[in-house]
Structure 1
Amino acid sequence: MYKKISGEDFSGLISRQFDHNGANQQNNTLHSPYFDCSSSILVNQHFHILHIKADFRENMLVQNMNDSDHLSLHFQLKGYSNARISGFEHTQSLKQYQTRAISCCQIQASYEFPAQKNYEYITISVKPSIVPSLLATIDWPAYQELALANQSFSITEHAQPFLAEQLQVIQQLLNNPFPNDLQERFQFLKIAELLLWYKSIPATYPIAKSPISASDQEKLWALKDFLDIHYLEPLAVHDLPKIFLLNDFKLKTGFKALFNTTPYQYILELRMQYARQCLLDQPNYSIDTLAEKLHYSTKGHFMTAFRKRFGRLV
Structure 2
Amino acid sequence: MNEIDVLQQICLNLNEGDKLKEKLPAETLYEEDGTEVFTMKTHRHQEIILRDYQEEPYLNMFFSFQGLSSSKHLYSGIEYSLTDNQHMVGYTPFFEGDYSLKGNMLEIFGVCMKESYFQKLIVTDLACLQQFWDNVQKGVETGMTSHPMPIIWQQRSVINEMLNCIYQGQMRKLYFESKITELFFLQAEQANNLPKEGFLLLKSSDREKLNAARQFIQHHIFEPLTIRKISREIGLNEFKLKKGFRQLFGTTVFDCLTQFRMDYARQVLLDTSKTISEVAYTLGYSDPYNFSKAFKKHFGFLPSKL
User: TM-score by structure 1 length?
Assistant: 0.52
Deviation at 1:202, TM superposition (A): 4.3
Q: Which residue of 1 aligns with 2:133?
A: 144
Note the alpha carbon deviations across 1:85-120, whole angstroms, 9 max, x for none: 579885342100011111122221310234x21111
Residue pair 1:132, 1:148 contacting (<8 A) in 2 also = no
Q: Check conservation: 2:52, 2:95, Cα contact below 8 A.
A: no
- Equivalent residue for 2:95? 107
> Taking CA–CA contacts closer than 8 Å with sequence separation of 6 or more, which of the two structures ends up with the larger relative contact order?
2
1:13-39 alpha-carbon deviations (Å, 9 max, x no partner): 9742178xxxxxxxx874xxxxxx521
Change in CA separation of 1:91 and 1:66 when aligned onto 2, cut-off 3 Å: same
> Are the equivalent residues in 2 in contact too, given 1:75–1:122 (CA < 8 A)?
yes
1:214 matched residue in structure 2: 204
The structural deviation recorded for 1:84 is 2.6
Gaps of 5+ in 1: 1-10, 20-27, 31-36, 222-248, 251-256, 259-314
Contact 1:48 1:125 in 2 (8 A): yes
SS at match of 1:171: helix
Q: Tell me, in whole angstroms, the C-alpha distance in 2 between the residues paired with 1:135 and 1:62.
A: 32
Offset at 1:83? Answer: 1.4
Shift of 1:65: 4.0
What is the CA distance between 1:188 and its match in structure 2?
2.9
Aligned to 2:107: 120
1:170–1:205: structure 2 CA closer, same or farther, 3 Å change rule?
A: same
CA contact (8 A) 1:93 1:159 kept: no
Matches within 5 A, 1:27-46: 30=23, 37-42=24-29, 43-46=31-34
Long gaps (5+) in structure 2: 1-8, 212-232, 235-247, 250-306
- 1:159 is displaced (CA, Å) by 1.0
Say whether the 8 Å CA contact 1:14–1:39 is kept in structure 2: no
Distance in 2 separating the partners of 1:219 and 1:67: 44
Structure 1 range deviating more: 174-183 or 44-53:
174-183
- Equivalent runs, 1:19-58 vs 2, <5 Å: 30=23, 37-42=24-29, 43-58=31-46
Confirm or deny: 8 A CA contact 1:18 1:44 kept in the other structure: no
Q: Structure 1 residues 67, 95: CA separation in 2 closer, same or farther (over 3 Å shift)?
A: farther
**Per-residue CA distance 1:208-249 (angstroms, 9 max, x = gap):** 4378x523647999xxxxxxxxxxxxxxxxxxxxxxxxxxx8
Equivalence for 2:86? 98
Inter-CA distance 89–157: structure 2 relative to 1 (3 Å threshold): farther
C-alpha deviations, 1:245-269, integer Å up to 9, x for none? Answer: xxxx87xxxxxx77xxxxxxxxxxx
Q: Between Structure 1 and Structure 2, whose CA radius of gyration is higher?
A: 2
Write the distance in 1 (CA, Å) between the matches of 2:152 and 2:107: 17
Contact persistence 1:74–1:124 (CA under 8 A) = yes
Task: Check 1:29–1:125 CA distance in 2 against 1; reply closer, same or farther (3 A cut).
Answer: closer
Report the alpha carbon displacement of residue 122 of structure 1 after superposing the two structures with TM: 1.0
Partner of 2:181: 192
The answer as to whether partners of 2:124 and 2:130 remain within 8 angstroms in 1 is no
**Structure 1: distance between partners of 2:64 and 2:11:** 15
Distance 1:149 1:136 in 2: 16
Work out the CA distance in 2 between the residues paired with 1:162 and 1:220.
13
CA distance 1:194–1:89, shift in 2 (3 Å): farther
Mapped to 1, the partners of 2:14 and 2:93 lie a distance apart of: 14
The answer to whether the aligner puts 1:167 opposite 2:156 as a matched pair is: yes
Query: CA shift at 1:133, angstroms?
Result: 2.1
Letter in 1 for 2:205: S
Q: How does 1:163-312 map to 2 (within 5 A)?
A: 163-204=152-193, 206=195, 207-209=198-200, 214-215=204-205, 217=207
Secondary structure of 1:167 counterpart:
helix
User: Secondary structure of the equivalent of 2:179?
Assistant: helix
Give the aligned partner of residue 70 of structure 2. Answer: 82
Between the aligned partners of 1:179 and 1:70, the Cα distance in structure 2 is: 26
User: Take 2:125 and 2:183, find their aligned partners in 1: how far apart are those partners?
Assistant: 10
SS in structure 2 opposite 1:151? coil
C-alpha distance in 2 between matches for 1:135 and 1:86: 30
More off after superposition, 176-185 vs 122-131: 176-185
How many Å separate the matches in 2 of 1:163 and 1:89?
31
Structure 2 counterpart of 1:269: none
| Inter-partner Cα distance in structure 2 for 1:88 and 1:45 | 33
Distance 2:187 2:101 in 1: 26
